[in-house]
Amino acid sequence: MRATLMYGAGDVRVEEVPDPVLQEPTDAIVRVVRTCICGSDLHPYHTMPASGQGSPMGHEFLGVVEELGSEVAGLKRGALVVAPFAFQDNTCDFCREGVQTSCRHGGFFSTAQAEFVRVPQAAGTLVTLPVGEDSPLLPSLLTLADVYGTGYHAAKRANVDPRTTVTVIGDGAVGLLAVLSARQLGAQRIILMGRHKARTDLGIEFGATDVVAERGEEGIARVRELTGGDGTHAVLEAVGYREAYEQALGVVRAGGVISRVGVPQYEEGPLGWGMFGRNLTLTGGPAPVRAYIDELLPGVLEGTVEPGKVFDRTIGLDEVPDGYRAMDSREALKVLVRI
């Protein structure tokens, strides 16, 4: 099959690799119908040391079940399914406690920008979709694999409800879907911090009430000005750089919550009086997307939400290297790959 491999920073190639095969009786093989490039794929795209051996890429996909291991219950060959970016048994104690990304038999997908994917723990991972391969809903359904569930996780972890004021930091796909999620959970005031107008316009469509284009101290001052000097109850941080975390500390209201879903690119940050003195809560992490699919799927099927609007470019598998380039240069917000 053809698959995407990264050989180092800026070096993405599509090459022939062996087809995946069933390895465990709990596995399935899925023929990928749609996959996409994630903002988090850009981190290795910037930093990966050059290597003679390519690393497979991709963790978001939906597709058709081709093969099932002997112990996989509840799935049929030929079914269209979506997978969360992490696989899990969905039965262990961590899964039952709602942290599927810490499953005792789980792990993360990393081979999805390809024609076929081996899915471990298929029964606990794959969710059957009641639509066909030609459904116009596929882009929105694909966001259930990661970005929508991740934005939703940020809002859930921050206890967003109709009484919560919210700041979202970052106008990438996750930030925009954190806006959508906060709105869905009832938030009336949602301040989106981002400086790319086409993206913040989509954020307004998704429910943002204010846009702050300034960053750093200036951005903090602007959010405080918009909130009577106090900041917002919830801050959903969807970037991952230390600057964004410091911005979050600057705009969160006393007693509030900073919920991070941007993969942190730093190990150290302020934890002293600035946080302690104001009774702040810091939460967030890799989203247990599987936990949210059942909750979010009906809205997508009914068309009450259209998270798939974050895709602003569609390409074929062979064009994936250019898709990385386009997302890295911010020419594209999120790139959909049609296999």
Does position 103 bind Zn ion by CB under 5 A?
Answer: yes
Cα–Cα distances in angstroms (integers) from residue 284 to residues 16, 101, 205, 235, in the given order: 37, 12, 25, 11
Does position 42 bind Zn ion by CB under 5 A?
Answer: no
Size of the site for Zn ion (CB under 5 A): 5
Query: Which CB atom, from 14 or from 293, has the smaller least distance to Zn ion?
Result: 293
**Helices 147-157 and 289-302, axial angle in degrees (round to 10):** 110
Query: Which CB atom, from 43 or from 96, has the smaller least distance to Zn ion?
Result: 96
Does position 89 bind Zn ion by CB under 5 A?
Answer: yes
Residue span binding Zn ion (CB under 5 A) among the ranges 30-38, 96-104, 109-117, 206-214: 96-104
Q: How far apart, in whole angstroms, are the C-alpha atoms of residue 61 and residue 290?
A: 13
Does position 95 bind Zn ion by CB under 5 A?
Answer: yes
Q: How far is the CB of 152 from Zn ion (least distance, A)?
A: 20
Q: How far is the CB of 145 from Zn ion (least distance, A)?
A: 18
Query: Which CB atom, from 103 or from 252, has the smaller least distance to Zn ion?
Result: 103
69-88 residues near Zn ion, rule: CB under 5 A: 88
| Strand 86-87 versus strand 107-108 pairing type | antiparallel
Q: How far is the CB of 65 from Zn ion (least distance, A)?
A: 21
Q: How far apart, in whole angstroms, are the C-alpha atoms of residue 85 and residue 144?
A: 9
Query: Which CB atom, from 94 or from 241, has the smaller least distance to Zn ion?
Result: 94
Query: Which CB atom, from 101 or from 232, has the smaller least distance to Zn ion?
Result: 101
Pick from 13, 39, 8: nearest CA to 173: 39
Query: Which CB atom, from 120 or from 256, has the smaller least distance to Zn ion?
Result: 120
Residue span binding Zn ion (CB under 5 A) among the ranges 93-101, 200-208, 268-276, 315-323: 93-101
Q: How far is the CB of 102 from Zn ion (least distance, A)?
A: 8
How many CA atoms does the CB half-sphere of 17 hold within 13 Å?
Answer: 21
Does position 121 bind Zn ion by CB under 5 A?
Answer: no
Q: How far apart, in whole angstroms, are the C-alpha atoms of residue 228 and residue 211?
A: 16
Query: Which CB atom, from 74 or from 78, has the smaller least distance to Zn ion?
Result: 74
Query: Which CB atom, from 88 or from 167, has the smaller least distance to Zn ion?
Result: 88
Query: Which CB atom, from 19 or from 294, has the smaller least distance to Zn ion?
Result: 294
Residue span binding Zn ion (CB under 5 A) among the ranges 94-102, 163-171, 262-270, 329-337: 94-102
Q: How far is the CB of 74 from Zn ion (least distance, A)?
A: 16
Query: How many CB atoms sit inside 10 A of residue 254's CB?
Result: 11
Residue span binding Zn ion (CB under 5 A) among the ranges 34-42, 102-110, 183-191, 294-302: 102-110
Does position 146 bind Zn ion by CB under 5 A?
Answer: no
Does position 41 bind Zn ion by CB under 5 A?
Answer: no
- 127: β partners: 82
Judged by CB under 5 A, the residue of 92, 137, 204, 213 near Zn ion is 92
Q: How far apart, in whole angstroms, are the C-alpha atoms of residue 79 and residue 71?
A: 17
Distance, C-alpha 183 to centroid of its chain: 17
Q: How far is the CB of 91 from Zn ion (least distance, A)?
A: 6
Residues contributing to the site for Zn ion (CB under 5 A): 88-89, 92, 95, 103
